[in-house]
Amino acid sequence: MTTVNYPNPGTDPTVRVFDDFYQRELVIDQNAYDSVYSFFASIFASKEQAGNFTLAVFQIQEDSGTPVEDLLNELANQSTIQITATLAYYLNNQRSNTTLLGITTVPTPNQYTARNILI
């Protein structure tokens, strides 16, 4: 008797993730995605949080070249606040200084530049 869970050998076992905001597509190995997602699902309460953190890890991997296994080993013994701070550190390395994550102070523009901004 056949099973419904039999994977189709003609398909590629990857996960494609589309980011509409940044117009970005990530192609991720399905086993790696499942292991990272299960790690975050065991830590965070909602599936949405686990999914967002999973995608952040794969974005870090693509941008910095750091393997996912190394990132998970670094995050393994951290609390949720420490995990958030660590991922913000990695993501901030790829961002502009005006759009940093986890920064609570608002950068003040130069006085002469601020005069020319119309609200």
Per-residue pLDDT of the chain (119 residues; tens, 9 = 90+): 454 555 555 655 556 665 555 566 777 888 888 899 999 899 888 898 888 888 888 888 888 888 889 989 988 888 888 888 888 888 777 766 666 666 666 666 666 666 666 66
3 within some domain: no
Q: To which H or E segment does residue 92 belong?
A: helix 80-92
Pairing of the two strands 24-29 and 14-19: antiparallel
Q: What is the pLDDT of residue 41?
A: 92
Nearest C-alpha neighbor of 92 from the set 59, 67, 70, 69 = 59
19 within some domain: yes
2 within some domain: no
1 within some domain: no
In angstroms, the CA 18 to CA 96 distance is: 22
Beta-carbon contacts of residue 98 (< 8 Å; ≥ 6 apart) = 107
Handedness of CA 7, 5, 16, 55 (dihedral sign): negative
102 within some domain: yes
Question: Residue 40 is part of which domain span?
Answer: 14-115
| Number of separate domains in the chain | 1
